[in-house]
Structure 1
Amino acid sequence: MSGSAAEHGEDMRRHGDGRGRALLDALLEGRSDPGLAARAAGALGLPERGRYVVAALAAGGCGPAAGALEADGLRFLRRGRGDREVLVVALGDRDPAVLAALLARWCRGPGGIGPVTDGLAGLGAARRLAEVALLTCPPGTSEVVRLEERLPAALVVSQPQLSARLVEDVLGPLLAAAPADRALLLRTFEAWLECGGSAGRTAGRLYCHRNTVLNRLRRLERLTSRSLTRPRELIEMMLALDAFRLTARQP
């Protein structure tokens, strides 16, 4: 092939790649122009209908994961969106949990994975939900989570004004306590939840006596005017804890 012919072919390939990226960006933005998904499918060499999932990570979080994902047989496209890195993954018949495990292994995180969508036209909604899942990762963590695993926290981060009100109403007196005391009670409550409400297991995790755990929980109940034995009040406290960890301005 002559030099000019080769250059012409490279120009055509670049033009095609650029068009595909532009169409993919339009889908990720949630545009619903007639025929957009079909045009994107043709330009990207992907089926218009199929099982896709979108993952959102902090910018640069995917790092060298491209080779690892391809080696595992997953077709994916990567796009940057401001301080986010977005992966569009063609799952085929794979379980999305496989993708979560791979990203947790190969990416620095944190990251969020949205629900499976059954075609390219659903990428906009899938991207938004993946970013919500990402917001459920507390600051400083490197975990990669699926939205389905974080639905209560996702509700909290999706409504920051209501979340702030929830924190104020439920945790207000507790937040007025000394920072060290506040942190101790919240850490005990969080450990108690993770231990399935077992004071004994919580004591083992926190390296203290079971009665110490019970005393801290009783203090938490007094400060919040809520009981851990009443389901509705327990739910309020759990959601308020999520809101405080994820959205509230912590003093």
Structure 2
Amino acid sequence: MRRGTRYGALLGPLLAGGATPALVTRAARGLGLPERGRYAVVVLGTPVPDAAVAEGPDADGSRWWWGEAESREVAVVLLGPAGPARAAARLRELGAGPGGVSPEVGSLAEVGAARRLAGTALLTCEPGSREIVRLDERLPAALLVSRPELSTRLLAEVFGPLLTLVPAERSLLVETLETWLECGGSVGRAAARLGCHRNTVFNRLRRLERLTARSLSRPRELVDLVLALDVLRLSSAPP
């Protein structure tokens, strides 16, 4: 992992996007990187840990170059065999985060687009979290954060009546829905995890259906609820 003014000056035009072929070639030579290769970009929401900028390749052979773009810590990663998943795991090991990791791209000329996708992945991290997430793991949420005006509308349309409840009551229903989803739609498993009777879970879910005018048994309406839950999760306000 490398960092320095020289590296940053070479990375800047690449990360900004739209670099000319001549600039890409010059950056590749200056950084000692192939123009064609398996790359990903990382964008962090907090300062990069010192351990992340140590010289030399990682154990899996990946090589990192750190710079800055739009006031964020950004790394271009020449990937090892394990791909972006290993890059995300490495950042978690180092205690970095929150952060977003782009999908793999095939050349240095594409790292500007990859940087934008990594930045979108970062926006899907919960406020105050230390998550490191790959865009491909968060595509529905990424669509939502890419269109905040539609996300706000979705939340109001689906959860409007729910949001008028007192916070404790609202949190209870949201937690029950989240747990039910995590348990694969099993009321029994959700009840065990929540420490209550299965009828209690059933009654909470039925109340949530009445408040939102959407049924958990209708796939399209369930999609509405799941997406609205993602918007709520990503908002700065607690449920």
- TM-score normalised by the chain length of structure 1: 0.87
Q: Does 1:37 align with 2:24?
A: yes
Q: Which is greater in Rg?
A: 1
Equivalent position amino acid for 1:232 in 2: R
Q: Quote the Cα distance in structure 2 between the aligned partners of 1:20 and 1:104.
A: 24
The structural deviation recorded for 1:234 is 0.3
Name the structure 2 match of 1:203. Answer: 191
Equivalent position amino acid for 2:62 in 1: L
Q: Which stretch shifts more, 86-95 or 123-132?
A: 86-95
Matching of residues 99-248 of structure 1 within 5 Å: 99-247=87-235
Q: Quote the Cα distance in structure 2 between the aligned partners of 1:159 and 1:248.
A: 16
8 Å CA contact 2:40, 2:78 repeated in 1: yes
Call closer, same or farther: CA 1:54–1:158 in 2, change over 3 Å.
Answer: same
Q: Does 1:53 align with 2:40?
A: yes
The structural deviation recorded for 1:63 is 3.6
Q: Quote the Cα distance in structure 2 between the aligned partners of 1:82 and 1:125.
A: 14
Call closer, same or farther: CA 1:105–1:235 in 2, change over 3 Å.
Answer: same
Structure 1: runs of 5 or more not aligned: 1-16
Structure 2: runs of 5 or more not aligned: none
Q: Quote the Cα distance in structure 1 between the aligned partners of 2:98 and 2:188.
A: 32
Call closer, same or farther: CA 1:22–1:242 in 2, change over 3 Å.
Answer: same
8 Å CA contact 1:62, 1:85 repeated in 2: no
**SS state of the match for residue 70, structure 1?**
coil
- TM-score normalised by the chain length of structure 2: 0.91
Equivalent position amino acid for 1:193 in 2: L
Q: Does 1:65 align with 2:76?
A: no
User: Per-residue CA shift, 1:46-69, capped at 9, x if unaligned?
Assistant: 000000011111231434223398
Equivalent position amino acid for 1:226 in 2: R
Q: Quote the Cα distance in structure 1 between the aligned partners of 2:6 and 2:167.
A: 54
**SS state of the match for residue 38, structure 2?**
strand
Equivalent position amino acid for 1:32 in 2: A
Identity of paired residues, percent?
56
**SS state of the match for residue 94, structure 1?**
coil
The structural deviation recorded for 1:80 is 2.7
Aligned residues: 235
Q: Quote the Cα distance in structure 1 between the aligned partners of 2:85 and 2:17.
A: 25
Name the structure 2 match of 1:21. Answer: 8
Equivalent position amino acid for 1:42 in 2: R
Equivalent position amino acid for 2:40 in 1: V
- When the two chains are superposed, the root-mean-square deviation of aligned CA atoms in Å is 1.9
Q: Which stretch shifts more, 177-186 or 52-61?
A: 52-61
8 Å CA contact 1:112, 1:145 repeated in 2: yes
Q: Quote the Cα distance in structure 1 between the aligned partners of 2:127 and 2:113.
A: 24
